[in-house]
Amino acid sequence: MAKLIISVDGQVLDEVELVKERTTIGRKPHNDVRIENLAVSGEHAAIVTILNDSFLEDLGSTNGTTVNGHPIKKHFLQNSDVVEIGKYKLKYINEKASQSAPGDFEKTMVLRPSQVAASQPSAPSAPGTVRIGDPATARPNGFSDPTATTPGPLPSFAPGLIGQAGPSPVATQISPDQPLSALPPAVAPALQAGPTLAPAPRPASPPPAAIQILTGPSAGKELDLVKNLTTLGKPGVQVAVITRRPHGFFVTHVEGAQYPSVNGRSLDAQPRQLHDHDIIELAGVKMEFFHKPG
Amino acid sequence: MIDLSNALTMACSTDPGMVRSHNEDSLAIEPGIGLAVLADGMGGYNAGEVASGIAVALIREEVRKALADSDPSRAEPSPTLRAERVLREQAAKANASIFKSAQDQPQYAGMGTTLVTVLFANNQVTVAHIGDSRLYRLRGDSFEQVTRDHSLLQEQIDSGMISKEDARHSMNKNLVTRALGVDPEVETEIHSYEVLPGDIYLLCSDGLSDMIPESEIHSTLDTLKANLQLAADQLVQTANDYGGRDNVSVVLVQVNERFSSEAGWMSRFMSWLK
């Protein structure tokens, strides 16, 4: 469950769990997160939460909303973003990303179309309302109410989720009136956890390398292998490609009746890993592969 | 029936990836009839494989039969309309078949699959898709996504809640809003497009498009298009080098020449003479 840690001048005032589809922030009493400060508009901003994603929207406030120092109208919140409203800081924490087991990565699940339409924010106020401003009321009734600390109603579209999540042997159909806490234990965490989020990191690169042409008109020229794919040769005649992969460089035949050779041995259709000072011969031109210092 | 195996070159590659123990993706290519099918199954244990396997095997077999069936009473005004009808009917059949297996066998309950399939006829490509498996097209310098995912994320992008750049960071990537075999009926999205010689079409499961930036898919395809099989293998390998979190599957189709299927009166006359 994502949450907001609310602070002013470095002093933490409160923590708010984003249990509702729409959490409103503003000065007026009906807001879920109430900030009693004149710099804050009556209805200042809202956070829409759909499963594990939260979106912040400024509701046309007078003094604006910033995220990590940049003014925003709409913003897709990322873990540890700092939202600033007046002198109040709301830090967005969503640790689910680092908690999911690697095996849960991006398991595809189906969301029924009928439920998607229902996912538009429309939830009425529910327990979980917070009031901030007066230190004496920093933990007001609504928030200390035990019902507010249990997960709120499941977002209205989640009931239609089916598909395989977690280790349960068969997919589970979740009926619309079933609260999340009543789900089989294997399914509930999987629904909440979702996949991990970081986009795929760029693969590691091997140490830098280059080839030097040894024969022919371009003899002496050096070519740094800085791209993942470097093609050599003449299109339509003979082409080979050197691929850069996390664990090294490989040469593969691409086209042409003749296959290139490495250290005098002809390649087959398979890639061949290159080692320091290997000699590649392609269309009668010899070149040397070598690792660059540093 | 016109044999398209000269007009089209096809290649495919699939791999379980670096994390998953088994491959729930299925694919098939039939250059002769201009058909390629790719499906990404979901469901517990091997149910995902079963669902995608049913979809691919059934569509491959039934499309072949449907195209061979030249019953004049069912003749359409154009080969493209015929291709659209064939894909719509076969996707519905696959849906019913998977749905029924899931109902009949408890171990398959809830299984489903995405689908992207292309059928080439008369200088057109007809694409049918359901879920988040995609079709891309490389034409000249431009590499474009042809299909639009049926996913929660795509709907969020459409409604302006989230930008396309942010989408790569979304946690809701894996939620599809349509799948084959989870309901008694399914709405298959079908479109047809003109093809040009030199076009390369790429069908893939989300294990490719989620792992590799689009620009890198583009450059790989562009660099290796002289060897389509190598390009397909290279794309799968790159997805694995990026972490290979999901099963990854790729089908590539290169258009070598035009392929009118409507034989003109002249060629019909010529073949009558033979």
**Helix crossing, B214-224 with B228-241: angle to 10°?**
150
- Tokens representing B205? 């499961």
User: Does residue B238 contact residue B230 with C-beta atoms inside 8 Å?
Assistant: no
pLDDT computed for residue A37 by the predictor: 87
A166 → chain B, closest CA residue: B44
pLDDT computed for residue B111 by the predictor: 92
Q: Which of A22, A69, A26 is nearest to A45 (CA)?
A: A26
ipTM above 0.85, yes or no: no
Higher confidence at residue A140 or residue A271? A271
Q: What share of chain B is helix, strand, coil (3-state, %, to 5)?
A: 40, 25, 35
In the block, tokens 């499906």 appear at: B39
CATH number of B8-273: 3.60.40.10
Report strand pairing: A3-8 vs A11-17.
antiparallel
CB crowding B26-56: b at 16 or more within 10 Å, else e? bbbbbbbbbbbbbbbbbbbeebbbbbbbbbb
Q: Which helix (H) or strand (E) holds A25?
A: strand A22-26
With a pLDDT cut of 70, the percent of chain A lying above it is 64
- Cβ contact (<8 Å) for A113 and B162? no
- Tokens representing B262? 């409507």
DSSP state of A193: H
Strongest mean pLDDT among A123-132, A225-234, B264-273: A225-234
Count of CB pairs separated by less than 8 Å, A with B: 165
pLDDT computed for residue A114 by the predictor: 54
pLDDT computed for residue A166 by the predictor: 36
pLDDT computed for residue B262 by the predictor: 55
Give the C-alpha separation, A217 to A236, whole Å.
20
Give the C-alpha separation, B94 to B201, whole Å.
23
Q: B183 to chain A nearest CA, in Å?
A: 9
Q: Which residues pair with B14 in a beta bridge?
A: B249
Give the C-alpha separation, A24 to B101, whole Å.
46
pLDDT computed for residue A2 by the predictor: 86
Strongest mean pLDDT among A155-164, A188-197, B158-167: B158-167
- Tokens representing A102? 């690697």
B36's CB contacts (< 8 A; 6+ apart) are B10, B12, B27, B28, B29, B30, B117, B118, B201, B203, B251, B253
Decide if pLDDT at A116 tops 70: no
pLDDT band at A159 (very low <50, low <70, confident <90, very high): very low
Give the C-alpha separation, B9 to B129, whole Å.
21
Compute the average pLDDT of residues A8-21.
87
Q: Which helix (H) or strand (E) holds B146?
A: none
Q: Which of B44, B183, B210 sits opposite A169 (nearest CB)?
A: B44
A250 → chain B, closest CA residue: B234
pLDDT computed for residue B195 by the predictor: 96
Q: Where are the beta strands (DSSP E) in chain B?
A: 8-15, 25-30, 35-42, 112-113, 115-121, 124-130, 134-139, 142-145, 175-176, 189-194, 200-204, 248-255
A31's CB contacts (< 8 A; 6+ apart) are A24, A25, A43, A44, A129
pLDDT computed for residue B196 by the predictor: 96
pLDDT computed for residue A167 by the predictor: 35
Q: Which of A37, A91, A85, A89 is nearest to A65 (CA)?
A: A85
pLDDT computed for residue A110 by the predictor: 76
Compute the average pLDDT of residues A139-160.
37
Report strand pairing: B134-139 vs B200-204.
antiparallel
DSSP state of A181: G
pLDDT band at A168 (very low <50, low <70, confident <90, very high): very low
Q: B98 to chain A nearest CA, in Å?
A: 14
3-class secondary structure, B36: strand
- Tokens representing A41? 């508009």
- CB atoms inside a 10 Å sphere around CB A258: 14
- Tokens representing A63? 């003094």
Q: Which of A173, A243, A253 sits opposite B234 (nearest CB)?
A: A243
Q: B19 to chain A nearest CA, in Å?
A: 7
User: Does residue B273 contact residue B255 with C-beta atoms inside 8 Å?
Assistant: no
Decide if pLDDT at A192 tops 50: no
Mean pLDDT of chain A: 73
Compute the average pLDDT of residues A123-131.
39
CA distances from A80 to A2, A28, B108, B172 (A): 10, 26, 40, 18
Q: What is the mean pLDDT of each run of 10 residues along chain B (274 residues)?
A: 89 93 94 96 85 96 87 70 94 95 89 96 95 96 95 85 77 84 94 96 95 94 95 95 93 93 56 62
- Cβ contact (<8 Å) for A105 and B162? no
User: Does residue A23 contact residue A2 with C-beta atoms inside 8 Å?
Assistant: no
Q: Which of B153, B156, B154 is nearest to B172 (CA)?
A: B153
Can you say how many angstroms the Cα of residue A153 is from the centroid of all Cα atoms in its chain? 25
In the block, tokens 């490389």 appear at: B138
Q: Which of B115, B144, B116, B126 is nearest to B34 (CA)?
A: B126
Which one of B49, B111, B185, B241 makes the best mutation probe of the A interface by having the most chain A beta carbons within 10 Å? B241
B205 → chain A, closest CA residue: A108
User: Does residue B122 contact residue B80 with C-beta atoms inside 8 Å?
Assistant: yes
- Cβ contact (<8 Å) for B44 and A51? no
Higher confidence at residue A124 or residue A10? A10
User: Does residue A180 contact residue A192 with C-beta atoms inside 8 Å?
Assistant: yes
CA distances from B37 to A222, B147, B218 (A): 44, 14, 21
Which pTM was predicted? Answer: 0.69
> Domain segments of chain B: what residues?
8-273
- Cβ contact (<8 Å) for A108 and B114? yes
